[in-house]
Structure 1
């Protein structure tokens, strides 16, 4: 059995409070919100000390498997495994499945550090001390959570009540408190002895699974069964869907931590944010002298205490205070920065309308393991896209029943296969792919390949793809 801590990184969430940048197809953990790295990559970096941590186990939604693999590769991180949740069932069974898998791989009683993938954390002496205190306590069978010393009466977090102090070691949890209203949050802050529930845990796998057996037997049965029947798929481990789906849809807090008598907390005050809203992003970033945070192409005049983010159009804002403007190429959000928690309610409204539900699910730019594409223009019987293919990657060998395609190379070199014939195209060259032909696009070069695709036909949906061969296991 390894003496190292095994990180378990939860990367399957579909956070919507950072809409329109964060959407179901590419949620906030995979976005570079506070610098060039995504929050997921920062989490990988935080557990990169191989004298302390074994390579991480990542558990994520099947739809995110290629994003996880790509971002881990970009950051140079080695992973023990990427476990794929076949259906969403919350954190209890996800953590139980990771614990069961860790015991198969490392041995019974392995130490697990469970971490959300979408938090911003400052690694300092306080953080390192808390980790070592948590490991020591978890080694005695306690289930340790990290309680953040509150700095203001926050209504967006759950709380933990405990007789705990910074640097004073582990204390038993007295009780967990649901997200309070503003009055109750202020009261708890004044009383003291309450901590934000960070969602981070240090647990021995055997102790945790024993508590699952006692307190949530269905969760344990589903987790062990899904791991036992799991199948390898390329570099991923697919948990068995039929078994996993029998698990109750419940968080680990409800299923285990609020019921066990082994819950303990280590009080900490290192820099931490769950970045659960745009005002949290603003608070945790470096701002200018007028307390503005901007990303992308932005011009401000007479603006203060505001956040303006754009990934496409140039945004100009004049003479406003306490404003959040988030602009993508297909949606713009404008609201009070101090009321940014309301974005979640706005997303629910959009999801309830079939004409706008798509805005909450996918970006105009879709990412694939080979690169991706952006929608440029849609019309009756035609569609224009911008495709980008990473060096050395290739799309599946495929054909379409309802559309023909025209490709124009804008940058790089394209290797195009059409009905067995290979043609190499450079910048400003084009090729026609008739309806029904078998074709494939590849980038044999050293730089990104970029091309414009014009589709014409009676049906232009993404499901009109018959894959014949695919290096990513999608055929």
Structure 2
């Protein structure tokens, strides 16, 4: 049975302003109603596989757990990285973890390593490729998947194919860095090169042996990090002190470019890594004017555009080859052929000390979400949604008081030693310095308006006394 390993790190900065540090692209619904993470796991339904192991940043742990729960997926484990160290360490942690879970009948699992943010249109073709790769991995080969190129792309690395193993698999001659346009065209014309997808299949023991052979520093530091790991609810926390000693390296650099056990399986399945807004235009269905329109959009005499309206009406007149993305707190307008430069905008935002690269106006929490509607010098207004059965921590604030107005649902409110139930169209005042807790005991979402007032309104003015999500 295959053990899926889903790598769900990364920030997806080229898809700003929709993708941000606190809610990156792998958790967004960009193709259909499911997120890219959910689609990645659900497309494996055509093959026998164990419950997936997901590797993610510890700040995204509740996003991952909630998105898996929403589509009825039981995780085989959620490994929390305190800091990003690229794919070679992430997969090493997963290999150790998967091996530790195995029974005597299967001591050496076959790992299928997938990125959480890829799009694959031909699911049957993908499953067929996995079935071709499985016997190769079982024989001890390190299998990567190479995408049959459709154009001379300069944003991907390439794999040079060698002697054929099966009708869709080959030995690997070489890995090539992202090429120039001219070199990419040469690769396409030769028909001997594939795009490097960053997906793999191999036995856990073979990967760890090759990693120890070629990058013992990564291997040994991951061993130490696993020894220091701890469990927290359904999560495995990797110790920061141990893991910070591990070098940051991709599987390609650490192992695949060095090993003599590599093989590549060709993929021709409508693959994309959704690396830019232009790639989203490429893979989505177009209207009669070759536009991709999402949300509340009215387009007149416009062609070849990607327009996404997140929370307001967006209109275009007489424009071509544009990307327009509107969110509640930012708008991006870019030439469709210059979308790689969005990353430069994100770096500029960081340099200016702005927060639009980091969080959305709407912020997700393990208990629900909140939307910052308005704010001034000494006040802030939020729309808060608490999911059924969930609740905020027992907490207090030194610098602000709060007033809650219930819009829908029922709130269980604790203030110091008093518990009250507050219904629709009712309100309650939380004095500065009072210990308080907000819970949703009902079966429907609890919606309320929170008005904060005080000298300091930051999210860090919270002293937690009890928390069901382990955030103390």
Please confirm whether the aligned pair reaches a TM-score higher than 0.5, indicating the same fold.
Answer: yes
Structure 1 runs of 4+ aligned residues shifted over 4 Å read: 164-167
Q: Secondary structure at the match of 1:89?
A: coil
Q: Distance in 2 between matches of 1:249 and 1:77?
A: 30
Task: Tell me how large the CA RMSD over aligned residues is.
Answer: 1.4
Q: Distance in 2 between matches of 1:194 and 1:221?
A: 34
CA deviation profile, 1:30-79 (whole Å, cap 9, x unmatched): 00001110000001102245x61000110110000000000000010111
Q: Distance in 2 between matches of 1:340 and 1:320?
A: 16
The alpha carbon displacement at 1:143 in A equals: 0.5
The alpha carbon displacement at 1:164 in A equals: 6.5
Q: Secondary structure at the match of 2:356?
A: helix
Partners of 2:160 and 2:172 within 8 A in 1: yes
Q: Secondary structure at the match of 1:112?
A: strand
1:265-344 to 2 correspondences below 5 Å: 265-344=264-343
Partners of 2:391 and 2:437 within 8 A in 1: yes
Partners of 2:409 and 2:423 within 8 A in 1: yes
How many residue pairs are counted as aligned between the two chains?
Answer: 469
Partners of 1:46 and 1:123 within 8 A in 2: no
The alpha carbon displacement at 1:470 in A equals: 0.7
The alpha carbon displacement at 1:474 in A equals: 0.9
1:153-168 to 2 correspondences below 5 Å: 153-163=152-162, 168=167
Alignment partner, residue 253 of structure 2 = 254
Partners of 1:306 and 1:323 within 8 A in 2: yes
Against the structure 1 CA distance between its residues 454 and 25, is the aligned structure 2 distance closer, same or farther, given a 3 Å change threshold?
Answer: same
1:382-393 to 2 correspondences below 5 Å: 382-393=379-390
Q: Runs of 5+ in structure 2 lacking a partner?
A: none
Alignment partner, residue 415 of structure 1 = 412
Alignment partner, residue 399 of structure 1 = 396
Alignment partner, residue 18 of structure 2 = 21
Partners of 1:86 and 1:240 within 8 A in 2: yes
Q: Distance in 2 between matches of 1:196 and 1:462?
A: 44
Q: Runs of 5+ in structure 1 lacking a partner?
A: none
1:442-457 to 2 correspondences below 5 Å: 442-457=439-454
**Are residue 346 (structure 1) and residue 342 (structure 2) matched?**
no
Against the structure 1 CA distance between its residues 259 and 298, is the aligned structure 2 distance closer, same or farther, given a 3 Å change threshold?
Answer: same
Against the structure 1 CA distance between its residues 20 and 189, is the aligned structure 2 distance closer, same or farther, given a 3 Å change threshold?
Answer: same
Partners of 1:218 and 1:246 within 8 A in 2: no
Partners of 2:148 and 2:195 within 8 A in 1: yes
Q: Distance in 1 between matches of 2:163 and 2:411?
A: 61
1:93 to 89, 96, 103: 89
Q: Distance in 2 between matches of 1:9 and 1:45?
A: 12
**Are residue 468 (structure 1) and residue 465 (structure 2) matched?**
yes
Partners of 1:388 and 1:448 within 8 A in 2: yes
Q: Secondary structure at the match of 2:39?
A: helix
Alignment partner, residue 228 of structure 2 = 229
Q: Distance in 1 between matches of 2:232 and 2:197?
A: 33
Against the structure 1 CA distance between its residues 166 and 14, is the aligned structure 2 distance closer, same or farther, given a 3 Å change threshold?
Answer: farther
The alpha carbon displacement at 1:431 in A equals: 0.7
The alpha carbon displacement at 1:229 in A equals: 2.1
Q: Distance in 2 between matches of 1:277 and 1:165?
A: 33
Q: Distance in 1 between matches of 2:62 and 2:235?
A: 9
The alpha carbon displacement at 1:123 in A equals: 4.3
Q: Distance in 2 between matches of 1:178 and 1:140?
A: 29
**Are residue 34 (structure 1) and residue 8 (structure 2) matched?**
no
The alpha carbon displacement at 1:167 in A equals: 6.6
Partners of 1:167 and 1:267 within 8 A in 2: no
TM-score (norm: length of structure 2): 0.97
Alignment partner, residue 71 of structure 2 = 75
Partners of 2:164 and 2:171 within 8 A in 1: no
Q: Distance in 1 between matches of 2:107 and 2:243?
A: 22
Against the structure 1 CA distance between its residues 352 and 164, is the aligned structure 2 distance closer, same or farther, given a 3 Å change threshold?
Answer: farther
TM-score (norm: length of structure 1): 0.96
Alignment partner, residue 141 of structure 2 = 142
Q: Distance in 1 between matches of 2:237 and 2:339?
A: 37
Partners of 1:59 and 1:84 within 8 A in 2: yes
The alpha carbon displacement at 1:307 in A equals: 0.9
Further displaced range: 60-69 or 172-181: 172-181
CA deviation profile, 1:336-384 (whole Å, cap 9, x unmatched): 1222222122222222222x3x111111111001001111111111111
Q: Secondary structure at the match of 1:321?
A: coil
Partners of 1:397 and 1:468 within 8 A in 2: yes
Against the structure 1 CA distance between its residues 109 and 166, is the aligned structure 2 distance closer, same or farther, given a 3 Å change threshold?
Answer: closer
